[in-house]
Amino acid sequence: MVYINVAVCLSVLLLVIGLSVGLSVNTFRGRDALDSAPLIDGHNDLPYNLYGKLNNHLSDFNFESDLSNDSVWGKKACDSCFTDLPRLLKGKVGGQFWVAYVSCSSQYKDSLQLTMRQIDVIRRFIQKYPNNLQLVTEAGDIETTWRSGKIASMIGVEGGHSLDSSLAVLRLYYDLGVRYVTLTHTCNTPWADASTVDDGYVYNLTEFGQAMVYEMNRIGMLVDLSHVSHNVMREVLAITKAPVIFSHSSAFSVCNHYRNVPDDVLHLVKKNNGVVMVNFYSEFVNCNASRNATMEDVIKHINHIRRLIGPDHIGIGGDYDGVSSMPVGLEDVSKYPDLFDRLYESREGEPRWTKEDLEKLAGRNLIRVFQATEAVGTKL
């Protein structure tokens, strides 16, 4: 009798285990990858909206409320406002580079002071919400921060004009917690061309530009090649000692906008072991003026990059709050999980996305590049 009971118990147990394994396989959705790896977005310009709308008075910003219909921050009132805490949580965002950006019109004037203000507002913003945000300055802390239920919050400076051609400023930004610098925004600096020069050149990357890249390598600062000219992408990739990132750029051969990355550079990124974090901005993902951009366009960019250079060099850099038009289906920061669900479908003719691939896309590729950059810094 005892044996029979044990046998019955065992078979019931096996059945339950079998069922739950079966169920978990059957019910896996792409978004579930965002529970096993942090989703790290490379570029969010909320800090620039805090500057533009509130002159950085954080007390007037209701980050903890869903602001979709807010009279200042809602979609009717603001065409570049897509971010608040409830929607970040719904979007399963685990890590975010908050961007210290100041306009190119400040170059050679007060770009440095304005950038300091933006770094300051990001740091105060992170400190204000200690239950939900935490400043992260080391790759190894991203995952532990995310596992503790907080958004790993990192700082990027967008545009070499913020450096005022000074290696000292670069080093001090690092000390303030900045972990990437985008070499240009839409203006050429005296040492690097922006994408706005298209495929011609003014300076390319000058000798001083090379010194800037070398100093970034030496201190462990991520080199961000979004916004630079295609030639500067090539020139940096030829000399950098660390893998690079594109914090918010898509694929040029899918949509011929000079902000996007051409195929030959994608091959160089693979060789460099870097990562291209795909931008969602409607104008960059869809070049067909007679229709609106949709999530399907973003899927095309991601799959193009994956087909060309594999799943180890793609990430996500939505560009929320930095642009005025987002694709249908990716309207705000709550929508990332839908993108991962859709990728996992791996439709006819598309690459097949496994859970591991989706985890790499979500954040593991960026963490790898960040760690490699730290290692290069240590070595140099």
Ligand X SMILES: *[C@@H]1O[C@H](CO)[C@@H](O)[C@H](O)[C@H]1NC(C)=O
Tokens at residue 7, please? 């046998």
Subset of residues 289 to 318 that bind ligand X, contact rule: CB under 6 A: 290-292
Residue 255 to residue 164: CA distance in whole angstroms: 32
Q: Which of 161, 224, 235, 248 is catalytic?
A: 248
Subset of residues 226 to 265 that bind ligand X, contact rule: CB under 6 A: 231, 234-235
**Residue 301 falls in the annotated catalytic set:** no
Smallest distance from ligand X to CB 102, Å = 27
**Residue 35 falls in the annotated catalytic set:** no
* 288 lies in the binding site for ligand X (CB under 6 A): yes
Which residue lies nearer to ligand X by CB, 148 or 290?
290
215 neighbors 262 (Cβ within 8 angstroms): no
Smallest distance from ligand X to CB 99, Å = 25
Which residue lies nearer to ligand X by CB, 203 or 344?
203
Q: Which stretch binds ligand X (CB under 6 A): 127-135, 250-258, 286-294, 360-368?
A: 286-294
Q: Which of 143, 319, 332, 374 is catalytic?
A: 319
Smallest distance from ligand X to CB 283, Å = 13
Residue 264 to residue 237: CA distance in whole angstroms: 11
Which residue lies nearer to ligand X by CB, 59 or 290?
290
Binding pattern to ligand X, positions 46-75, x when CB under 6 A? --------------------x-xx------
**Buried residues in 77-116 as b, exposed as e (16+ CB within 10 A):** ebebbbbbbebbeebbbbbbbbbbbbbbebbeeebbebbb
**Residue 313 falls in the annotated catalytic set:** no
**Residue 227 falls in the annotated catalytic set:** yes
End-to-end CA distance of the chain: 72
Which residue lies nearer to ligand X by CB, 38 or 160?
160
**Residue 45 falls in the annotated catalytic set:** yes
Return the axis-axis angle of helices 230-239 and 263-272, rounded to nearest 10°: 20
* 201 lies in the binding site for ligand X (CB under 6 A): yes
Provide DSSP, 301-317: HHHHHHHHH-GGGEEE-
Q: Which stretch binds ligand X (CB under 6 A): 118-126, 259-267, 285-293, 303-311?
A: 285-293
Residue 125 to residue 113: CA distance in whole angstroms: 18
Provide DSSP, 73-101: TSTTT-TT----HHHHHHTTEEEEEEEEE
CA distances from 190 to 108, 169, 227, 365 (A): 10, 16, 15, 32
* 76 lies in the binding site for ligand X (CB under 6 A): no
Catalytic residue numbers, as ranges: 43, 45, 158, 185, 227, 248, 319
Could you list the residues that contact ligand X (CB under 6 A)?
66, 68-69, 201, 204, 231, 234-235, 288, 290-292
